[in-house]
Chain A
C-alpha cells in the first residue's frame, strides 16, 4: 500500500510536457479519449457508407461520393466496399472502443478510484499512448498506398490476408498497425494490473473496489494474457507476407505447407477474450452507475465480482464457436458448444444483479442513467442471441449471416456505445470541470437508443432470413432481393443514428467552454474521485485517503443525520446517532 510522504509532485509547466508528452494519467486519459472519439467518428462514417451501398447497391454516394470515390464517379466499387468493412471493423474495435474505454476512462479513472496519485509506471503509460498513436499513423498510411487499404476483413483470415489474397502494401501496414496497437494494450495492461495490485489507498480492499475498477483490472489481465497471442499471429502473418514462410499458407494437397486454420485458432484465442476485454470495463461502469442512480447499493456485489472473474476464466475456452463450420473434430465442436453455454451462467448472474440493483431503488433518470438502462436492454438482446450461435446445429445455418452481425453489434456496438456514452456523461464533469447539457443529452439518448436497436435488430431479422455478411451487392442473389426494402429501412435508421451523434459532438465541445461549472460531486455518490475538485489537481489527492467502506454506500440509515442518502468511501462516522442502528459494513 502506498503511504507516501514528502513533497507533492509538482505539475509540469512547459507546453510539451504538460499537454503532449505528459506522464499524468489524467492527461493521457484525455489523449486516448480524443483519439478514440475521432476514430469513432471515422468508423461511424464508414458504417454509413456501407449502409448506403446495401440500401442502393451501385448508386453514387451523395455529397461525399466524389471526394472519397473519385475514380469510380462517386460509386463505391467492390474493392472500396471490402476495404470499408475491413477498416470499419478494425477501427471500431482497435482504434475507437479500446482507446476510449480502456485507454481513456481506464487511465483517467483507475488512480482516482483507488486513491493513488498516478499510475504505477507513468512513463510506460506515456509510451503506451504514443505507441497507439504510431499504430494509428501506420493504419492511416494504408489508405495511400498502391492497391489500396487492406481488404481481408477485420479478422484477416489466412490465406486471404497472405500475399496470395492480398498482395498490396496495405495489408502489411494493417498487420504492423495491429501489432503496435497490441503492444500499446499490453503496456497499458501491465501498468493497470500493477497499479491495482500495489497502489490502492489504505483500506481499499479488493471487495471495496468500485466495479469499474474490477472491470478494468480483469480486462487488463485478459489483455496481458491474450493480446500477445494476436501479436504472435501477426508476426507469423508478417513473415508469410514478407519472407516467404508458410505458416498459414497451404497447397491444395492436405499436409503440404502450413495451415490457414492455425491462423483462425490463434486469432480467436485472442478474438473471443477480446469481446470480454471490451465489455468488462463497460460491465463495471454500468454496475456502478446503476447503483449510483438507483440510490441503493449494488445488489450482490460479491456475486457480481465472482461472475466477472468467472467470465475471465472461461473466456479463453469458448473461442471455438467461431469455427464450427471449419470441420472441427466432433469432440472439439461439442466441447466448445457446452463451454460457450456455460459462460452464459455468470453473464446471467450479472444481469440478474443489475435487476436486483434497480428493484426498490429510488431511480433517478439522469442522462448517464438513461444510457446505462439502454445498455442493459441491448445487452439483454445481444446476450440472448449469442445462444443461437453457441448451438452448433443452429450455427450451421446462422454462421456468417447478418444474424451474427446483428448479435455482435448489439454487444460490441450498441451495449458498448451506450455504456461509453454513460461514462462520458457521468465523468465529463470530473474530466473537464463542466457539466454536459442535460436537455441535449436526453435527445441524444433517445435518438441514439431507438435507431441503434432498429439497425441491429433489423440485421438479426435479415440474418434469420439467411442473408450472408460482407456481400457487396445482396441483389446478386435472387433469394435476397425481397430483403431490399428491409435493408433500406435499416440504412435509414443508421443515417439517423449517425446524424444524432452531431448532438453529442455539439454538446461535448460547447460544454467545454459554456457548460455549467461542475461541483466536486454533482451526482452525490461516495467513490473517491468525487471527493476531490473537478477537475482534480495534478497530484489527485492532497493526502492519500483512508478508505473505510465500499463504493456503493447509498441509502444507509447512518447517513440520515447528515441530511443525505450517501456516504463517502472515506467518511468516518463518529458515533451512531441515537435511535439509529449501527451502520453495517456489508449486510
Chain B
C-alpha cells in the first residue's frame, strides 16, 4: 500500500516527515526480525511426531540474560536514544525557537470558539485591539518566506489548530495562551482543521490557510485592511478577541 501524506509546504515539515520515516524504518527492521524468529519458532518447533518435548530451560542463565538485555539495549539505542536526541535538537533548534525578536515575523492572534477560527493580525500600527487590525474568519492569509508566529486562545472548550500540510497542531485552551510558528515555502491553499473533539460541530470546524507570494500578499493585505477598518465597530466589542501580544492581557 502506498501511503501518501498531504504535500508538505512548510519550512520545517520535512523534519517531522524525517522522524516518521526513521521510525518506520527502525521499527520496521525490529518488527521484521522479531517476526522472523516468531514464525521460525512456530514452524520449526511445533509439536509433531518426534517433537513432543520442549527444551527444558528457564532462560535464567547469564548467557540467556545477556542476550535478552543486549537486544533490548541495541533497540533502545538504535530507536529510542537516536530519536530522543534528534527530537530534542529539532525542538530546541527549530520548533520551540519562537521568532520573538524577528521583525519579519507575521504575528497572528488566533481565537477558537465552537465552531470557528478567527485570525487577527495587528495592522500597520503593530498593536492588537485597534481599528486597523485585520480580522478574518476561518481563513488565515500568510506571506510565503516569512515566519508566521501564532498565539492561540479559546473562548469555550479545548480546540486544536491542525495544519496537516505544515505538519503540526497546537491546542487552543480556555484560560491560557499557547503558541506555535511555521513558515510557508510555496504559495497555495491548504486546509486548516480542528483536531480536538470540541462538541457536535467538531467536524465543521474547518478553514483555509492561504499562502501568498509577497506581492500577492501585499495586495490582499491592502484590501483586507480597508475591509476591516470599514467593519470595525467599537460598540460591538469586536476587539474582545484581541490581547496585548507581549503581556497576554
Chain A residues at the B interface, C-beta cutoff of 8 Å: 78-79, 82, 151-153, 157-160, 164-165, 249-261, 294-303, 325-327, 330, 333-334, 337-338, 341-342, 344-345, 348-349, 351-353, 355-365, 373, 376-377, 380-381, 384-385, 387-388, 390-394, 396-401, 461, 464-466, 468-474, 476-479, 552, 554-557, 565, 586-587
Contact = CB atoms under 8 A, between A and B. Distances in A.
Interface of B: 1, 3-6, 15-16, 19-20, 23, 27, 30-31, 34-35, 37-38, 41-42, 45-47, 51-61, 64-65, 68-69, 71-72, 75-76, 79-81, 83-84, 86-88, 90-92, 95-96, 111, 114, 153-158, 160, 162, 164, 167-171, 173-179, 191, 193-204, 206, 240-241, 248-249
A297 B157 contact: no
Contact of A297 (B5, B52, B58): B58
Contact of B171 (A78, A152, A325, A398): A325
B195 A394 contact: no
A164 B157 CA distance: 8
A359 to B, nearest CB: 5
Given A393-B95, A473-B203, A388 B23 contact: yes
A362 B80 CA distance: 35
B58 A254 contact: no
Contacts of B4: 465
B84 A361 contact: no
B60 A586 contact: yes
A393 B34 contact: no
B51 A397 contact: no
Nearest to A356: B59
B37 A461 contact: no
A252 B110 CA distance: 12
Contact of B59 (A250, A300, A351): A300
Given A260-B173, A556-B56, 6 more contacts: A165-B157, A295-B52, A325-B160, A334-B91, A479-B191, A565-B52
Contacts of B86: 393
Given A79-B200, A296-B56, A464-B20, A387 B157 contact: no
Contacts of A401: 195
A401 B16 CA distance: 15
Contacts of B37: 355, 359
Contacts of B178: 326-327
Contacts of B175: 249-261
Contact of B84 (A153, A338, A396, A557): A338
Given A159-B174, A261-B173, A555-B54, A387 B80 contact: yes
B56 A330 contact: no
Contacts of A353: 59, 68
Nearest to B241: A252
Nearest to B23: A388
A376 B31 CA distance: 12
21 contacts: A250-B176, A254-B176, A255-B175, A260-B174, A325-B160, A325-B171, A330-B91, A334-B91, A337-B84, A358-B41, A358-B45, A360-B57, A363-B41, A461-B1, A465-B6, A468-B162, A476-B204, A477-B193, A479-B164, A555-B55, A565-B54
Contacts of B79: 341, 344, 387
Given A78-B203, A164-B156, A356-B64, A344 B76 contact: yes
A383 to B, nearest CB: 9
A365 B23 CA distance: 33
